[in-house]
Structures are given as C-alpha cells and as structure tokens.
Structure 1
Amino acid sequence: MTAKDVLTSEQIKANLKVMPAWRYGLGALRTVLKCDSSASALALFSTVGALAQEANHHPDIDWRYDTLFITLTSHDVGSVVSARDAALARSISAEAENVGATPRPDLLRTVEIAIDTDNEEVIAETWRAALGYKKQNDGSLTDPFGRGPAIWFQRTTTPNPNRFHLDVTVPFSESAPILDALEETGAGLDHDAAPRFVVATDSQGNRLCICTEEGRDVDGSPEASA
C-alpha cells in the first residue's frame, strides 16, 4: 500500500462524523468498547481478529475484563491514519453494535513522558537502552510492542527544575470534564495553548499536560507542551 492511502485531517474528520464511537489522537483512530461480560468481550475480540485477518490490517487491542481498548494506525505508511483504518473501524463498530457493546470514548487516555533537556542526543540512548524502545524519526522513543508510554525530549535552553512531566492525550470532546476535575483538586491550569494542551500543576509543583488532537499535525507528532 502506498502513501496515497493516507487520510488528510479533513478526511479523518469526515470519517469520524459517521463513526461516533471513534476518536482521533496521536496518529491513530481509537475507541473503547464495553461488553456485558468478560466472555462477550473475548468473543468480540475474536471477531475483530477475524475482520483484521480478512482485511490484512491489524489493530492493537488491549483486553481488560469486559472492555476492549482498540487502536488503529497504519505503520507501513508512517504510523498515520489510512483508508484501511477507517474501513476496519466501521466494520468493528458494526460488529460491536450487533453484540450490544457500548462505546466508551470517555475512557480514552494515551500517556507520553516528556523530558526537558537542552541536548537530547546525550541522554536519548540511555533511555532507549534501558527500556528496549525504538527511536522514531522525530527523536521520540516508543515501545515496539505498544505496552509502555512513549518518551519524547522537549528541547529547551532553560529546563524546568522538575524535568519530567506527563502528556495525557484525550479526545477533545472528552477534555472538559477532565479539566473540571483537575480544577476541583486544586491544580493550577494554564490554558495559554488550549485546546492543543492545557498545563496542570499540582500543589507541589509537579506538571502534566492534558493534550487533545485539536491543533496537532495529522501525524500526531509531539509538540512542545510545557
């Protein structure tokens, strides 16, 4: 398959309008499907596997008791969304509806670890070797099996005293309740870069960012956040 298969931002948005169970984030289509039992979740998992084999295009699926977390991206064209992802997403949704699975996009979270540094080249290999990760074209590090959070290096000449922070990517449509909940905990919120990200700082000065797909490139590449 060639890069002609890759969907633009507008094409992704058009597909999402007819796929209400799915959200876009970090170069992938994502959904969460909650079933009425562990057995039915496993049966749906098997059905999705058969669909994937038929399409010769395979999603990442995390089975957690009665819930499936599903991610679709096309690694062969740069880990971005292709027409194959949209087609398989529609097939999965149809099967999920047939068995009464409930979409729960509000449960979607994708965590990345950001490290402030004025020279990522001198530290990146240490983290790659320790974690067994792969270095991406943008310099970030990712788990080849998709189990651990990605790590990316935020280039800055003035690293924060607390050099680590988490980037938590959520669908923009689900972000408001999360930000409200953070505010209720007493966290300080910096909305200067919203809706792309909002910087939250807890009462002891530790930071995290609530990030959304709004304002990011279609490839989902990390952007400076805090």
Structure 2
Amino acid sequence: MPEWITPRQFHESAGVDDWRVLANGVSAHFRTGSFDAGVDLLEAIGELAAAAHDPDVDLRSSGVTVRLMADEQHGLSRRDADLARDISTAARRLGAAADPTAVQDVQVGVDALDIPAVRAFWRAVLGYREVGDEDLLDPYARGPSVWFQKMDAPRPERNRIHLDVSVPHDQAEARVAAALAAGGRLVTAGHAPSWWVLADAEGNEVCVTTWMGRD
C-alpha cells in the first residue's frame, strides 16, 4: 500500500531539490544540451522507472522534462519522492543540471451554470477524458487540463474562461512581477501564496497558482 504524502512532505524529502509540485503532479527539467545526452538520461530514467512506476517524459534537443503524476484520488506518494531522488542522482551523474524555472502546468478554467452539459461539449471537442466531477485531462498529457467552476448566476460583464498557470512556489512572485511589468494588473492577492488573480489590459483574467495551501 503506498504511503501517501502531502506536497509539503514531498518538498521536505531528502534529495528532491530539483523537483517542484505543480497542479498535476511533480516535475523537473534537466538541461542536457544535446539530443544524444537526453537519450542517455532517458535510458537511465527507464531503468529506474522499471522498478517503480512510469513517469511522463518529454525529450527535447535541449533537455528532458519529467513529470511524476499524482494519484487522482490520493495525490503524491513516498515512492514519487524516492523515484524523484533517484532520477536526480542519475541526472547529476550524466552532467544534466536541473532548471526549476522551466516547469509549469497550464489549466483552463471554465465558469458554467450547468457543468455536466458544458463539460460534455468540451470533452467531446477536445477528445479528453473525465476525471472526477469537475476536470478533463488530455489522455496523452500534451494539452492543458480543463476544469469547471460552478456559477450561481450569469456574469455577462466578465469573461467566463480563464487560464490557471501553476508554477514552482519559489518562482511565483517573479512570474507575477513579470506579468505586471508587461502591462497586466493585479485583481487580487488575497489568497497568495496559493494564487494571485491577474488581468491583461482588457480585463482577461489568469491565476498564477502554487501548491502552497494544499498541505
């Protein structure tokens, strides 16, 4: 039986400094500098995963991004922390440095009066799968997830679709500052450091979110 842990317990685990808890699991990016070096790291990850569980791996010419998906019901487990530590050890052995600024999750939020009816449309048009009562996930883990927020009454004066950008907890304030410097405005920081609500020059909203508050 897996030992389930909180995001905070994951970050307090030994040897996981390269990794960051995001909306849909825990991720790390390792700069390899070449495709061949990335393949070497991928092979090492494959050997480690064979004795643990399968991660999602994105191989590019410049680096390798690894995501350990949280269990949809329970979240993270101790084996996630153990595998993360082992992958980091392998990356260091191969000379691949971690870059925590290169990981994020993007989620689309849809406000709806009738969530089942609206969600059915988006599931069909995107080819996604349903998770729980509110979420849709790309079965190939290529596109952003979609979640649905219940509205009590129509709100025609504001947009009803927004983005959530889940970033590492130690990168959030810099990301917010960059967005404000680029012409955005702060709608509310009342829930920081869990999330900030920002808007562009025409009022379209986005939330910058972290795991903080999901202890």
Normalised by the size of structure 1, how large is the TM-score? 0.87
State which of 73, 80, 84 in structure 1 corresponds to 2:79: 84
Query: Which residue does the alignment assign to 1:202?
Result: 200
State which of 103, 106, 110 in structure 1 corresponds to 2:105: 110
Query: Which residue does the alignment assign to 1:64?
Result: 60
* Conserved 8 A contact 2:24-2:105: no
| Residues 150-159 or 77-86, more deviating | 77-86
Give the Å deviation of 1:64.
1.9
Q: Which amino acid aligns with 1:45?
A: L
* Conserved 8 A contact 1:116-1:159: no
Give the Å deviation of 1:131.
1.4
* Conserved 8 A contact 2:30-2:98: yes
Q: Which amino acid aligns with 1:70?
A: V
Count of residue correspondences: 212
Q: Distance in 2 between matches of 1:74 and 1:150?
A: 14
* Conserved 8 A contact 1:141-1:152: yes
Q: Distance in 2 between matches of 1:176 and 1:123?
A: 33
Q: Distance in 2 between matches of 1:156 and 1:71?
A: 32
Query: Which residue does the alignment assign to 1:7?
Result: 5
* Conserved 8 A contact 1:28-1:79: no
Give the Å deviation of 1:158.
3.9
State which of 203, 210, 213 in structure 2 corresponds to 1:212: 210
Give the Å deviation of 1:119.
1.7
What are the residue-to-residue correspondences of 1:33-182 with 2, within 5 Å?
Answer: 33-53=30-50, 55-75=51-71, 78=73, 80-160=75-155, 161-182=158-179
Q: Distance in 1 between matches of 2:7 and 2:103?
A: 20
More helix per residue: 1 or 2? 1
**CA deviation digits over 1:186-219, x for unaligned, max 9?**
2011212211111110001111110011113x5x
Change (3 A) 1:35 1:154: same
Q: Distance in 2 between matches of 1:177 and 1:104?
A: 15
Structure 1, unaligned runs of 5 or more: 219-226
Give the Å deviation of 1:26.
2.2
Give the Å deviation of 1:153.
0.6
Structure 2, unaligned runs of 5 or more: none
Secondary structure at 2:203's aligned position in 1? coil
Secondary structure at 2:11's aligned position in 1? helix
Query: Which residue does the alignment assign to 1:193?
Result: 191
Identity of aligned residues (%): 33
* Conserved 8 A contact 2:4-2:74: no
Q: Distance in 2 between matches of 1:14 and 1:90?
A: 12
| Residues 163-172 or 36-45, more deviating | 36-45
Q: Which amino acid aligns with 2:200?
A: D
Secondary structure at 1:191's aligned position in 2? strand
Give the Å deviation of 1:138.
3.7
**CA deviation digits over 1:61-89, x for unaligned, max 9?**
111212111111354x7362111111111
The RMSD of aligned alpha carbons is 1.7
Normalised by the size of structure 2, how large is the TM-score? 0.91
